[in-house]
Amino acid sequence: MKKRVIVIALVVISLLLTEELNTHYFLKKIYPLKYKEYVVYYSSEYGIDPYLVFAVIKVESNFNPNAVSSKNAIGLMQILPETGSWVAKKIGIKNYKEDLLFDPKYNIQIGTWYLSYLLKTFDGNVQLAVAAYNGGSGNVDNWLKDKRFSKDGKKLHNVPFPETDRYIKKVLGVYNLYKILYNHND
């Protein structure tokens, strides 16, 4: 009887260790779906892939709703107060105050709408929308007109801002990882 209990315990421990050692398991811990209810709701509302929103949140704040950048971008999606105010008016958020950007619900709503707006502005081109999210849409427009940065006026082949270049690569990499990790398992 004692041997049987030991064997069962070893089997259970083995199964637990197998799950613990599963790469997807660890990656899902590093790349979680925090605030999923808001991300999924607003992604659906504004017609955007939720995995792109998760990628932006992961890269921007690593899911810290109290994050504030050196440029005063606030919250999960690192929204500048001016952008927050502009978007709040566009989508009808009454009594908007900058402090709302610390609230995950409002931050995700505003950030997701803005990302959706950028995707529409740049004809669904994720690279350009992500570049604009970080470097500004005016800059992206100028880069597309400059042969040094865009050979065809439709895609960036070279990004003159190193921070934006790194940002695009990071967000697109994390976006692809989210799609691989969750698209068929969730």
Which residue ranges in the chain fall short of pLDDT 50?
185-186
Q: For the chain, which residues make up each domain, given as ranges?
A: 1-30, 33-182
- Residue 185: predicted pLDDT: 47
List the one residue out of 135, 168, 184, 154 whose CA is nearest residue 52.
168
Q: Are 24 and 183 in contact (CB under 8 A)?
A: no
Q: Is 60 designated active site?
A: yes
Give me the architecture of the 33-182 domain, per CATH. Answer: Orthogonal Bundle (1.10)
Taking the C-alpha atoms of residue 96 and residue 84, their distance in angstroms, rounded to an integer, is: 9
Set 19, 37, 45, 60: catalytic member: 60
**Rounded CA gap, 9 and 20, in Å?**
16
The reported pLDDT for the residue numbered 25 is 82
* HSE-up (13 A, CA, CB side) for residue 33: 17
Q: Would the CA dihedral through 11, 17, 21, 27 be positive or negative?
A: positive
Q: Which long-range contacts (CB under 8 A, 24 or more apart) does 147-153 make?
A: none
Q: What's the pTM value of the predicted model, to 2 decimals? A: 0.86
Return the H-helix or E-strand segment holding 6.
Answer: helix 2-21
